[in-house]
Structure 1
Amino acid sequence: MIWTQKLWIFTVFLAVLSDVGAFNVSIRQEQYEELTGSSVTLHCNFDWKNDTPDLAIISWSAVGTQPGDQEVLILTHYYPLKVTDIKPQYEDRVALDLDVLKGTANLRLSSLTVADDKIYECRFWIRNIEEKRQAVTTRLVVNEPVSKPICAIQGTVRQGENINLTCYSKEGSPPPSYAWEKWEKTMGSRRQFMDPTATQDGGVLSLYNISRETAGLYTCTSENKVRASVCKVNLTVPPNSPQPAFLGALTGAVAGAVAGAVAGAATSVAFAADRVILGLVDRDGGQTPDKAP
């Protein structure tokens, strides 16, 4: 029993000894969520255990969320020189809030854009008796309101044709979802437009074999978690134009007259040929004059 107690005390002593001169780096929260144009402070806390290093290098970097995205260095601070090197693309937009006594090395970002939607890393490298490194990461999500969508018609608006109604927002993060609705005049209200003669794919509403019943006021709603915006299309399907009766009769008469004239000309040509071929010829080779009536 005594031997067990001594072994436990020795183990605790080793643990305390190994922690001398150690330091810890941590973050306040795993994810931040902000809007474009706003500012944010990413918190990074550290504890040197009252053993201030001879030299420390603190850096902030960022990497995109897609596979293959390259890490980008934002800034590097050198302690105790109090020198901070900020990369040109981040100048006038970032700052390091460093407080050694409080153990904070926070990154302040302003004028956020969708391009700032990344994973950020706070990294420490210190040198005292030995070199030590630690790093922690946090996620910054930058949301952007959807821009006003643009509605358009693709195809020929004529009965029996197939057309597309398109709806697209150029801006928006996360990417917007689209929903088409049609005003029902008889009901005086809107309904989500999905029937056997229509399909939706993203912001495209396909209408097949359109008719006058297809006509109406269509609205498209582009929406993400920040905002929703609407555009409208007033679809008019004109009736097919039937051929007037008098126009048909006139066309037939003209065609008949033309055919008669062609037939008469052919008969005249044939008759003239008969006179030449069948005319009486005298024995001297001259043509016999027509007899007087």
Structure 2
Amino acid sequence: MALLVRFLFIILSCALLDALEILPSTNKYDGIQGDSIVLECKFTLVPEDIATLDIEWLLVAPDAQQSDQMVITYNGKSYPQAGPLQGRVDFVSPNPEDGDASIKITNLKQSDAGTYQCKVKKLPGSRNMKVTLNVYVKPAKTRCYVEGTQEIGRDLDLKCQTKEGSLPLTYNWQKISGLEKLPPTATVDSTGGVLTIKNASQEYSGTYRCMSRNKVGTDECIVILNIVPPANTAGIIAGAIIGTLLFLIVLGILVFFCCRKQKEKKYEKEIQHEIREDVAPPKSRASTARSYIGSNIGSNHSSLGSLSPSNMDGYSKARYNQVPSEVMERPPSNTPNYVPPKVAGPNLSRMGAIPVMIPAQNKDGSIV
């Protein structure tokens, strides 16, 4: 009898322990970066679950040697924990005791991805459940461009690159103008985003669109292809040579005129300088002769001695080729009836005198 009672007690205890149940739900969630997501954890209670309700959400460590990280708890009140989800996580229900322990994570980040565990305890019942969260990034900042020469007969590539977006990414090219179909010689690399065109022709010109896609979104870009005839390379080279020669000729002419202008300015400055340094011409024949005579008499006074009208002619003949000889000292001013000697015309010319025409006069001094 005692054994039967003990057996019934064990069965009743197991039934009570299994009374709290977590309802089945998905165990894998896919979120998008920047969006919000709800991780479900709903449960049921029985009257035998009489203890205080205790709920815990943990981020399971990927390494067994590390400890799990507490995200949020409930023990009569919600208690978000410090960590990477602080300020971005809360219970969906304002009163989780109603049977909803689901949480909502806002502004998802790639670092939020991982395995989360929901623990619900209300003694004697206790249950837990794990879910996996993946966070994806939509394709963004997709760029299209042409690589190669856009000429008839050439091979070229239309490339499409997405800078942001979770892998795997796939690419799809379309022609959205003209015949609206890809060239017959084109091949598409759906994983690399490259559209290769062989032996291009003008019919291939138009607008092309590339669409990048992953699990959570799409993005696109547009590029314009313009196939033109081959350029005249020989004409371009000849034009460049002719242009260079013309430039050098013009440059040489400018340098020549600049040098010539500089020489003319320098010559004008020298002429002006010489004119400023010239001595003014003598005012009259008498003053010129007198100044010359005075300067020469002063310098030769010691060697010539005093000259008189009687020996002036003889001295001038002996020294004709050296110094003017018709120079004599002025007699004292008190000498009566003094007549100054005459100087010959050739000697005056050598002295630097300037011929001056004097009008004829009468005895009374009037001009004839």
TM-score by shorter chain over 0.5: yes
| 1:167/1:71 CA distance change after superposition, 3 Å | farther
| 1:157/1:12 CA distance change after superposition, 3 Å | farther
DSSP 3-state at the match of 2:103 = strand
In proportion to residue count, which structure has more strand?
Answer: 1
Within-5 A mapping of 1:103-122? 103-122=99-118
Give the counterpart letter for 1:104 in structure 2. Answer: D
| 1:240/1:213 CA distance change after superposition, 3 Å | farther
State how many pairs are aligned: 226
Note the C-alpha offset of 1:181. Answer: 1.8
Question: Hey, what's the Cα distance between the residues in 1 that align with 2:186 and 2:26?
Answer: 50
Q: Deviations over 1:168-221 (max 9, x none)?
A: 233345754321122563xxx412x26344342421112234454544332212
Give the counterpart letter for 2:43 in structure 1. Answer: F
Question: Hey, what's the Cα distance between the residues in 2 that align with 1:74 and 1:208?
Answer: 59
Q: Which sections of structure 2, spanning at least 5 residues, go unmatched? A: 239-368
Q: Deviations over 1:91-135 (max 9, x none)?
A: 11012357464233221211224444544321346776xxx8642
Question: Hey, what's the Cα distance between the residues in 1 that align with 2:165 and 2:217?
Answer: 9
Q: Which sections of structure 1, spanning at least 5 residues, go unmatched? A: 1-6, 248-293
Question: Hey, what's the Cα distance between the residues in 2 that align with 1:89 and 1:13?
Answer: 46
- Kept in 2: contact 1:162–1:209 (CA 8 A): yes
Q: Does 1:40 align with 2:29?
A: no
CA RMSD of aligned residues (A): 4.2
* 1:232 aligned residue: 222
* 2:287 aligned residue: none
Note the C-alpha offset of 1:77. Answer: 2.4
Give the counterpart letter for 2:170 in structure 1. Answer: S
Question: Hey, what's the Cα distance between the residues in 1 that align with 2:171 and 2:68?
Answer: 34
* 2:180 aligned residue: 190
Q: Deviations over 1:224-269 (max 9, x none)?
A: 566544322222334142646xx7xxxxxxxxxxxxxxxxxxxxxx
Seq. identity, %: 25
Question: Hey, what's the Cα distance between the residues in 1 that align with 2:71 and 2:99?
Answer: 18
| 1:207/1:62 CA distance change after superposition, 3 Å | farther
- Kept in 2: contact 1:147–1:172 (CA 8 A): yes
Residue 179 of structure 1 is aligned with which of 158, 172, 181? 172
- Kept in 2: contact 1:98–1:106 (CA 8 A): no
Question: Hey, what's the Cα distance between the residues in 2 that align with 1:205 and 1:77?
Answer: 53
TM-score, structure 2 normalization? 0.48
Note the C-alpha offset of 1:57. Answer: 6.0
| 1:216/1:99 CA distance change after superposition, 3 Å | closer
Question: Hey, what's the Cα distance between the residues in 2 that align with 1:94 and 1:27?
Answer: 22
* 2:79 aligned residue: 84
Residue 25 of structure 1 is aligned with which of 22, 39, 43? 22
TM-score, structure 1 normalization? 0.57
Give the counterpart letter for 1:26 in structure 2. Answer: L
| 1:181/1:72 CA distance change after superposition, 3 Å | farther
Q: Does 1:150 align with 2:146?
A: no
DSSP 3-state at the match of 2:140 = coil
* 2:189 aligned residue: 200
